[in-house]
Amino acid sequence: MDSTRGDARHEIAWEWAERRGAHLLMEFGRLISAPEGNPQKPAHIRTASFPTLKETGRALRSKNTQEERDVSGKNEVEATFSDRRRAAEVPMDSARRRMAKRTLESAPRSLLRRSLPYLNLLIALGLSFGLSGVTRRIMDTERENTALELELVQARGELEGIVFDSQRQIESLDGWARHVQEARRGDIETYRNFVEDLRNRLEEIETKNLRSTTETVAIFRDELGRLQKRIESDLEDRPQSAAEVFRKFEAAHGKGLVLIYTEFDYYKLREGKKARRRTMAGWGSGFFVDENGYIVTNKHVVQPWKFDADLAALISMGEIRVDENSLRIACWEAGTRALDEAGEPLIGSGWDNHIRKNLTVAIQAPDHFKIVDSELGQYGSDYRVHKLDNNDLALLKVEGEGFHALPLATCDSAAHLPLQKLDPVMALGFPRGQNGLESGIAESSPSIGTVRKVEDTIHITASIIPGNSGGPLVGPEGKVVGVVTRIYSETLGICITIDHVRDLLERAKASRSDAAHTSKK
């Protein structure tokens, strides 16, 4: 590699020398041939003397000849220089290519050769660090093993001591157990004799005092009975909250409530002979007031056309005609199914006046109508509608006996009613009718409020909804004090006092008794 590199350098130097010599020759020729007065011409040439004409001619001819020679020599030199340069360029290019190739080949080898010491140093350092870490770990492990061996020796010594002590305790316990067992054998025998003596004595006492023991038991039973009655009396006399009273009332007398469904037919007179029958229906509540099957409700539940102002006006104007004989009534006792799977009234499952015909309208309070002026329609300006008073009552009678009658408060007028302002009251019934029976069972829905005032009627704050009409109003003493009748607002409901119900019930019973007496005659 070094000899080749030296040859290449020699060739480059030789080429440079040739080029420099040719350049100097050309420069010298130019200076010689320069005219007089040229500052670049050397001084010794500028100060030369002028020759004669002949000398000048000879000089000129020799000069021309010399110039021609110079030109010829210059051309020869340039040609020789060009040939040599071309000849030198070929090995130079070859040398450059060989040098570049050898440089590329030798670069990785030289880099690896130069980096080998450093790599060896790094490997040695890594091995030294690794060996030192392993040495430290080995030493730490040996120290831990030594400590564990010491702990194991100590634990073994403690365990041997515990085993020795346990063996001694076991031996001691075995001796104590044998001693106790021997001692208890005598005690068990003593106890057996004692129990046998007691048994014999008890048999003797029972045989002697059997009669007196029976009498003592009877005396104790009587005392317990009297004590139980006293406790029940004290519980009844204890003041109860309104919620407790109402809850007990519904649990005890819920079966006395009745769900009532009514429907009737009407016709539109404007349709003439083509008038077809239409049906209007409604729902209400009622309750048993007698064990013989008397049910009280509102008159507007069973005869709604008398109380509905719109219906009364249409009837008065001759727009419609109500067929009062088409009235159909059905009742269901609370807790029984009243609707079929489609949510329609299950007629025939309870009491009714048109299928099973085990229900009748026993009596109703007298009708009290009022005349209302109106400008509706062209057939008349006045119509008749029922007053909203205490005559909004009717009694139904179902066949059978042993019905669950609700307890009624005792009074002969509203003034003697056991009720006053701010007393708690509960309204029972079936609000919203069939829409309130989600499972199809006639289940009552109570509403609690207070008394606003008591006059001819009872004003309450309990919520009353269509469907509640005819239901009972329960007072704080757990007795029915009125009949839920109508509403004026969400917090103002009107109830008819219970004394009107008692009067109507007495009239119904008297009428029934007179009819039975007449039939016997």
Residue 135: the pLDDT is 76
Instruction: Tell how strand 480-489 and strand 294-297 pair up.
Output: unpaired
Q: What is the pLDDT of residues 140-168, one digit of tens each?
A: 888 888 888 888 888 888 878 887 877 77
At 397, phi and psi to the nearest 5?
-130, 125
Task: Check whether 514 has a pLDDT greater than 70.
Answer: yes
Residue 313: the pLDDT is 85
Q: What is the pLDDT of residues 230-250, one digit of tens each?
A: 666 665 665 678 888 899 999
Domain ranges for the chain: 2-129, 242-520
The distance from CA 366 to its chain's CA centroid, rounded to whole angstroms, is 59
Residue 50: the pLDDT is 43
Q: How many C-beta neighbours within 10 Å does residue 245 have?
A: 18
Residue 45: the pLDDT is 46
At 266, phi and psi to the nearest 5?
-145, 165
CA distance 148 to 30: 107
Residue-wise DSSP of 349-413? SSEESSSS--EEEEEEPPP-EEEEE---SSS-SEEEEE-SSTT--EEEEES-S---PPPBPP-SS
pTM above 0.85, yes or no: no
User: pLDDT > 70: what percent of the chain?
Assistant: 64
Residue 53: the pLDDT is 47
Q: What is the pLDDT of residues 259-302, one digit of tens each?
A: 999 999 999 887 777 778 899 999 999 999 999 999 999 999 99
Q: Read off the pLDDT of each residue in 385-389 and give the average, rounded to a whole number.
A: 92
- Tokens 């539109």 belong to 268
Lowest mean pLDDT of 203-207, 290-294, 313-317, 494-498, name the range. 203-207
Amino acid, res. 284? G
Helix (H) or strand (E) holding 496: strand 492-497
Percentages helix, strand, coil for the chain (3-state, rounded to 5) are 55, 20, 25
CATH number, span 242-520: 2.40.10.120
Residue 158: the pLDDT is 81
Task: Check whether 451 has a pLDDT greater than 80.
Answer: yes
Q: Read off the pLDDT of each residue in 128-134 and give the average, rounded to a whole number.
A: 68
Residue 495: the pLDDT is 96
Q: Read off the pLDDT of each residue in 351-380 and give the average, rounded to a whole number.
A: 83
Average pLDDT, the chain: 78
- Give the dihedral of Cα atoms 496, 501, 502, 505; nearest 10 deg: 170
Greatest mean pLDDT among 21-25, 94-98, 423-427 lies in 423-427
- Which 3 state secondary structure label does DSSP give 283? strand
The distance from CA 252 to its chain's CA centroid, rounded to whole angstroms, is 39
The tokens for 96 are 């450059």
Q: What is the pLDDT of residues 18-64, one digit of tens each?
A: 565 656 556 555 655 555 555 555 554 444 444 544 555 565 566 55
Q: Read off the pLDDT of each residue in 370-397 and give the average, rounded to a whole number.
A: 80
- Which 3 state secondary structure label does DSSP give 135? helix
Q: What is the CA radius of gyration of the chain?
A: 69
Residue 58: the pLDDT is 62
Instruction: Tell how strand 382-386 and strand 424-427 pair up.
Output: unpaired
- Tokens 């002026």 belong to 373
